[in-house]
Amino acid sequence: MLTIEKFCLSLNHQSLLKDFNLQVAGGEIVTIMGPSGCGKSTFLAALAGTLDSQFSCSGLVELAGKSLLSLPQAEREVGMLFQDDLLFPHFNVAQNLRYGLAANQHPQADVIIAQALQEAGMAGYQLRDIASLSGGQRARVSVLRSLLAEPKLLLLDEPFSKLDKPLRKQFRAFVKAKIETLAIPAILVTHDAEDCLQAPAISIF
């Protein structure tokens, strides 16, 4: 469960968001909508611990019983998906996925990677170069890498925006199914109503 209470976000002491409250249960995907540049990505950065120094935030942000705002980024257990897949081009598929594995999974890394790829419809892709993958395959590898780190929360920053329409529909279904299966809370920000993975969508900016 993610609990946000009286959350405030400011830029150089100018208020962008005030007294915002939200609860997101495991397996639930809350969509936050708003036009480009309104501050959606900044809100996610505050939750992830990557907020630029010119911004400040306050309030209660609690994930699985831990206060996030008091923790450094590395200890927050928050996964991120962006518009770009951010895969390492000099690594093959398995090496990219191994980078995301939680530390306690390394002894079984090969088995876990093979199973994850099979579930994503990419069985046998371990040694494939990233450059040889289609856009949809790269997107799936990016999701798998984020989820293999076993995050307690997944943040999605318009991850579907650069995919063509048929692929977007397929990829949205894949991401939704993964989040629901793992039963982790997720927040998606977008400016496109078609990207909503679960109802309702909210606007806070």
Domain ranges of the chain: 1-77+152-205, 84-150
Identity of the residue numbered 141: V
Alpha helices of the chain — where are they, by DSSP H?
40-48, 93-100, 109-119, 135-148, 165-182
pLDDT beyond 90 at 136: no
The letter for the amino acid at 113 is I
Exposed (0-12), middle (13-18) or buried (19+): which is 54, by Cβ within 10 Å? exposed
DSSP 143-196: HHHHHHT--SEEEEESTTTTS-HHHHHHHHHHHHHHHHHHT--EEEEES-GGG-
Does the pTM exceed 0.85? yes
**Per the omega criterion (within 30 degrees of 0), is the bond before 159 cis?**
no
Mean per-residue pLDDT, 142-152? 91
Which residue, chain included where needed, has tokens 């927040």? Answer: 187
pLDDT number for residue 44: 95
Q: What is the pLDDT of residues 173-203, one digit of tens each?
A: 888 998 999 999 999 998 888 888 877 778 7
3-state secondary structure of 45: helix
Burial of 7 (0-12, 13-18, 19+ CB in 10 A): buried
Residue 1 carries which DSSP code? Answer: -
Query: What pLDDT is attached to residue 186?
Result: 96
CATH architecture of 1-77+152-205: 3-Layer(aba) Sandwich (3.40)
| pLDDT score, position 184 | 95
Residues across the chain: 205
Does 36 score more than 80 pLDDT?
Answer: no
Per-residue pLDDT reduced to its tens digit, 42-88: 999 999 999 999 999 999 999 988 999 999 999 999 999 988 888 99
